[in-house]
Copies of this chain bind each other. A is one copy, B any other.
Amino acid sequence: MPDTRPSPYFVLFNEIGILHQLSRALLEARLPDGLLSSHFGVLNHLVRVGEGTTPLAIARAFQVPKTTMTHTLSGCVKHGLIEMRPNPEDARSKCIWLTDKGRQVREDMVAAAATGMGDFAEHFPEDKVEALLPALTEMRQFLDKARDEI
């Protein structure tokens, strides 16, 4: 009789998958027209980490293949949220900058997401969430390294 009790690791990654699914669906339900959670992620990243980074750096930050990021960025360009300038230090590369519209849209998205987050925040106060972050971040960093090695 083989094991049917799942190891906590499977449960963990299963929960993470579902949480990702749910949070994405919930966010996108509140975003305007064709805006996607991936676009939101990029805009947020640019504001937080700083503009002027390259597509590859962004892809690495989100741990998605660079082709995926190319596609996502082209979607942002099509929506007029970002612009791609040549990289003065590397002719192969590009630099990503927010447009004014992109900054504005990001503000709106944050606001929209925040209202949707209200109920959530009531049940899960900031300090409770913050308590989770170190472990999750540590796991992320570990898997990040493992990805290169394994």
Contacts and interface: CB of A to CB of B under 8 A. Distances in A.
Contacts of A10: 44, 110, 113
Specify how many copies of this chain sit in the oligomer.
Answer: 2
Interface string A1-38: 01110111111111111111111111101000000010
Secondary structure dominating the interface of A = helix
Nearest to A37: B17
A139 interface: yes
Given A2-B107, A26-B143, A142-B123, A16 B13 contact: no
A48 interface: yes
A146 interface: yes
Contacts of A114: 7
A104 to B, nearest CB: 10
A17 B44 contact: no
A137 B15 contact: yes
- Most chain B beta-carbon neighbours within 10 Å: one of A4, A17, A26: A17
- Most chain B beta-carbon neighbours within 10 Å: one of A6, A23, A29, A37: A23
A150 B116 contact: yes
